[in-house]
Amino acid sequence: MYALSSMTITLSPENSASLAEYCELIAWTPEQLANHLLADALDLFADPRSGSLEGFLGSIDYPDRATADRALARVAQIVTIQFDGKLPESFQGQVQELELDAGHFGVTAQVIGHHGELLEVC
């Protein structure tokens, strides 16, 4: 579990350089800019109708099957909210081992939308 009050993170050299460049441009501190950028993304993650969190969860590699299963369960929860509290029978989600990165896993999910169209959830 991570501390809720504050957190120290280490940025890659590339991200550090970019952050410094834009902070200088707009006369903000790195903390101000990082918090501003994160606020928008995290607000979208919190909105189950935005599609942002499930898209993100489908785009990353997971270090183990248990973590990928947990991410897929969250995707199913989001889809349940999007479909008025009931997970559609057409929902198909799966965890698969990545071919090019053995030992890592990804998640995918699809559902038939309200108008009969196939939707790639993640």
pLDDT at 3 over 90: no
Exposure string over 11-33, b if 16+ CB within 10 A, otherwise e: eeeeeeeebeeebeeeeeeeeeb
How far is it, in rounded angstroms, from Cα 48 to Cα 63? 25
- pTM of this structure: 0.83
Dig out the tokens for 15 from the structure: 């991200």
Please report the pLDDT score of residue 26 as a whole number: 97
Please report the pLDDT score of residue 81 as a whole number: 95
**What's the gap between Cα 13 and its chain centre?**
23
Q: Judge residue 122's burial from the number of C-beta atoms within 10 Å of its C-beta, 0-12 exposed, 13-18 middle, 19 or more buried.
A: buried
Could you read off the pLDDT of 26-85 as tens digits, one per residue?
999 999 999 999 999 999 999 999 999 999 999 999 999 999 999 999 999 999 999 999
Please report the pLDDT score of residue 2 as a whole number: 58
